[in-house]
Every structure is written in C-alpha cells, then in structure tokens.
A and B are shown apart, each in its own frame.
Chain A
Amino acid sequence: MKRVQFEHSPIPYLFVAPQIIIIVVFFLWPAAQAVYQSFLLEDAFGLSSQFVWFRNYSDTIFSAAWLQAFWFTIIFSTLVTALSLGLALLLAVKANEVIQGASTYKTLLMWAYAIAPPVAGLMGNLMFNPLIGDLYGFMNAVGFDFDHKLDPYDAGFVVVLISVWKQVSVNFIFFLSGLQGIPKSVNEAALMDCKSPTRRFWTITFPLLAPTTFFLMVINITYAFFETFGIIDTTTQGAPGGATTTLVFKVFQDGFRGADIGGSSAQSVVLMLLVLALTVIQFRFIEKKVHY
C-alpha cells in the first residue's frame, strides 16, 4: 500500500475494467457453467437436460477409465517433476561452478524454453517413428522389445521423456538464478568451514535453494497436469488403451470428441479442486504473492 494514493474517483474502476470484464466473461462465467453442467444430464441431441445431482460425478469419476487416467497423471507428474528437477539442478550447479564457457552452456541449456510442448511432442514422435526414428531402432537394438504404439510402459516412457526434456530448461533457469542469488560471502564462509564440496552442497547450498525448489515443484506439477496436453496430443493421444491419458486430456476427449458435456464438466470441476489445492499449498508455504 502506498503512503499516498489518489483520492476516491471513478478512475480506478476504469483502469481495472478491461481485466475484470475479461475475467468475468471468459473465466468466471464459464467456470460457473462448468459447475452447473456437471449436475446436468443432456440427451444425445443436446435438446433437453435434466438435473441429476452428483450422478455425473459418480458415473465418470468412479469409472475405470477415469481412475486409470488419475493414477497415470499422478505417476506421470511425479516422474516428470522429479526427473526434470533433478536433471536441472545438476546442470545448474555445474553451470554455476564452471568459469570457461559459462554463458554458452547457459544459453544452450535454457533455449528450449521457447519450444512449444506440441512442437516438442511432434519432434519426439518423429524421432520414435518406427519408419525413420533412430530412437525407436536404438531402443530395440539395445535389447528392449520397444513398441510405444502397443506397450503402455513404452508409451509412458516416450511422453515422460519428452515432457522432461521440455521442462528442464525452465527449472534450470530458476535453479541457476537461485544459486546466483546466494551471497558470495556465504559461499566463502562455507568454504572455510567445510572441506567436502558434496557436504557443502547438501548442508549449505541445497537448504538455501529450498524455496526455489518448492516453488518449482508446484510449477512442475502444474505443468505435468496441464501443459503436457500438447505433448500427449501430438504423441500417443492417450493410447494405447488410455494408458497415457492424463486427466486434462480426458476432459478434452470426453467433452469434444465424446460430446459428454456433463461428464466432462464433472471432471473439470474435480480438476478445479485439484488446482485449488495446489494453489493453497503454494501460498501456504510461499506466501509471497498475497500480502494484501
């Protein structure tokens, strides 16, 4: 809050109006609609609808397909988050140590941020294409009986690999900036107090990076939940047999392809609750953004 502000007037309302109007029309209203529709059952032609309480929820959420998607999303998010964070942390620590060529490494490691998930997806898909993809050939040559079109684990491997690849750069940027934010004097003091570099890292550097790590965990989980849609849609499309269908992909599939508005809305509402939980966790622990 500023010490001095402009007096009461209609001006502030004019300034916030564009933002608020967009939010109401394109965020709040549709969200409310989703909640409303999640309680309705429409007939096949969309001509009449009936209020069915929680039937859409019980029908979809307890269905085997949804549960499959749920567990896949959990495992997928955990893997993507853990792997991309781990890899990015390793690279950031090394890039922070190195003197020669530091800026070149930095550039090469962060530039992939600019690539869209579906583009990464298509690229990966082509690499694994049985007709031309050397990665496909390689996997089989080293002894895996690899077929991501048929084998659920192989398909999962492909989407995890691409999703991790796409996310490493963001994590790298944040870790590196977190590392560079540690005051030089702290590192120097640690250097005098502790001989082993590994021990120094785990007792000094890593704890100081904890806020960054926590923040990135939330970001990565959100990414794995939502933004990987583009990767799934351009690689496996949830196949084989729904083995790589994430919750978001399922909402899209049921809503647009399957035209099951009620079921898709019910799933949306469940997702909203998940986002809410994530956000609450984020702010409970970070509490940076919201000091009103």
Chain B
Amino acid sequence: MNRSAISTHIILICGALFMTLPVWVAFATSTHAPETILREGLQIWPGGHFLETYNEVLFVEGGVMKKVTATAMLKNSLILGVGFAVGKVIISMLAAYAIVYFRFRLAVPLFWVIFMTLLLPLEVRIIPSYKVVADLGMLDTHAGLIIPLIASATGTFFFRQFFRSVPDELLEAARLDGATAWGFFIDILVPLSKTMIAAILIIMFVVGWNQYLWPLIMTTKEENYTLVIGIKQIYQVLNEGGELPQFQKAFALTILATLPPVLVVLIFQNWFVKGLVESEK
C-alpha cells in the first residue's frame, strides 16, 4: 500500500469513528449502573447491567416514564413510521398517476397546489395546524398524528418522474388489451414501481419514525408518546435533577429510538440510497 492509500484509509477511519463512536459510547454507557456512570463518566466498554437496564426501560411500568414503558412507545413509533410511509406512498402514487396519465382541466392548478406544500413546512404553520387538528377532535389520535403529515410534494414528484419514464407503449398496449384506468394502475403500474415503492417506504419509515415537532404538540397523554418524544421527557427529568440521575436509562432510550430505523437503513441499504438520491432529484 502506498502513502496516499494509507492517508486515505486514515481519513476514512477517523470519519467512521466520528460517526459511530458517540452511538457506541451511548450504548456502552447504557449497560452500566448509574453509580458507575456518575463516578467514572462515560464508558467505552459495555458493562454488566444490560439486561437490568433494558428490562426496566422496556417492560417495567414507571421504569422510564411515569407510567408507560418503552415497549408502548416503541409501538407508537412503529405505527407512526409505518403509517407515515404507507400513507405517503399511497396518496403520492394516486396523485402522480392522475397527473401523468390523465388529461383533465384542473391538472395544472392542482399540480401547483401540491407544489405549494414545499413552501409550507410544518414549522411555519405549526400553531394554526394544531388548532385545525384540535377542532377536528384529532388530538392524541393516530389519525391526527399521521394524516396531516402524509401530503407530499416530494413523493408525488418522485412517482411522477418515474411514471413518465415508463414507456408510452405500455399504456397503449394495455389499452388495446382492454385495461381500465384502475386496471392499468393496479395490474401494470404498481407492480412496475415495486422497487421504487420499496425505496420510498424505507426512507419514509425513517423520516416518519424520526418526526419530532408534530408529535410533540399533538400528543398530550403519555400513552401516546413515541420514543422520540419520550427522549424529550427524559431530558426534562434529567434537567430537573432530584435523586440519582438515571443516565443509563436515558442512554438506553436513545439506543432504542435509534435501533429500528438504523436497522432498516442497514438491511435495505441499497434501496435506501437509491430512494434517497432519486427522490430528492
């Protein structure tokens, strides 16, 4: 190996350590007893309290929140992640299909309405949005949590781009074969988009799982917390102090909140990269 190759590896190793070490330290520290952490600080090697800590966080009522367990929060996160991803894919595909494959009078104005969502991130309309959901009686419900988030210009544009790349002759052949508008969508277009759908589902699951601001204002009851929101509560408890700070539980919760999306990204790495790069184009 020559000198430049060695320096390349050194840079990459430093980069990799920078990206992974904090999470590793969080994990290692979460497996120690609170006294050890308080005495010795952060830990680089795993300790002997793995089962104890994670058992308490995951299954014992009052172990981490006042009442709910991390398992319940995990479930809420999962519902949000999956609902967010599936909802986005479905309504984006339907809208893109209408825009690409139909000639209709309002196509252009509706396209721009969808485009407008890019200009209105949640952060700039947060209070009135909260009001709308509250008026609809959807606070603290899964529907209220998910539905307002699933409108998606990016998703619609992504499928629009993909549908446009589908050869025209396929529609023509299908029309000669007697396919209806719905038939063409279900029989031809959806199966053709399989990999695209998978890629978007993966990205959107991660994005959905990681939602913060919306669930933060939408959920008032502890049993509706997602893991990411639980983090916030832990933070407040730690800040308020009191008895022996349960740092190991805070770390355990960050690990639990991180693990599922990370696993999804790692397992479906190729689809994930493809989806991310393609959808943002």
Contact = CB atoms under 8 A, between A and B. Distances in A.
Interface of A: 2-9, 11-13, 15-16, 18-20, 22-31, 33-34, 37, 87, 90-91, 94-95, 97-98, 100-101, 105, 107-119, 122-127, 129, 131-134, 137, 165, 168-170, 173-174, 177, 197, 215, 219, 222, 226, 229-230, 233-234, 248, 251-252, 255-256, 261, 264-265, 268-269, 271-272, 275-276, 279, 288-290, 292
Nearest to B44: A134
Interface in B221-264: 228, 231-232, 234-235, 238, 245, 247, 250-251, 254, 257-258, 261-262, 264
Interface residues of B, number: 103
Given A15-B98, A20-B113, A105-B12, A118 B231 contact: yes
A168 B91 contact: no
14 contacts: A4-B175, A9-B102, A18-B91, A26-B147, A27-B116, A30-B128, A33-B131, A108-B19, A119-B231, A119-B254, A126-B29, A129-B238, A132-B41, A226-B121
A82 to B, nearest CB: 17
B186 interface: no
A18 to B, nearest CB: 5
Contact of B128 (A12, A29, A111, A124): A29
B220 interface: no
B42 interface: yes
Nearest to A274: B124
Contact of B265 (A12, A113, A129, A215): A113
A123 B232 contact: no
Interface stretch (B49-57, B68-76, B191-199, B207-215): B207-215
Q: Which 5 A-B pairs have the closest CB atoms?
A: A116-B210, A30-B128, A33-B128, A12-B102, A15-B98
Chain B interface main SS type = helix
Interface of B: 4-5, 8-9, 11-12, 15-16, 18-20, 22-23, 25-26, 29, 37-38, 41-42, 90-92, 94-95, 97-108, 110-111, 113-121, 123-129, 131-133, 147-148, 150-152, 156-157, 164, 168, 171-172, 175, 181-182, 206, 209-210, 212-213, 216-217, 228, 231-232, 234-235, 238, 245, 247, 250-251, 254, 257-258, 261-262, 264-266, 269, 273, 276-277, 280-281
A269 B92 CA distance: 27
Between A26, A105, A165, A226, the greatest number of chain B beta carbons within 10 A of the residue's beta carbon is seen for A26
Given A16-B110, A26-B148, A115-B261, 10 more contacts: A2-B100, A28-B113, A29-B128, A98-B12, A113-B276, A114-B265, A119-B228, A127-B22, A170-B276, A275-B121
A111 B110 contact: no
Given A5-B103, A26-B148, A115-B262, A127 B128 contact: no
B11 A90 contact: yes
Contacts of B128: 29-31, 33-34, 37, 265
B127 A265 contact: yes
Between A8, A29, A108, A256, the greatest number of chain B beta carbons within 10 A of the residue's beta carbon is seen for A108
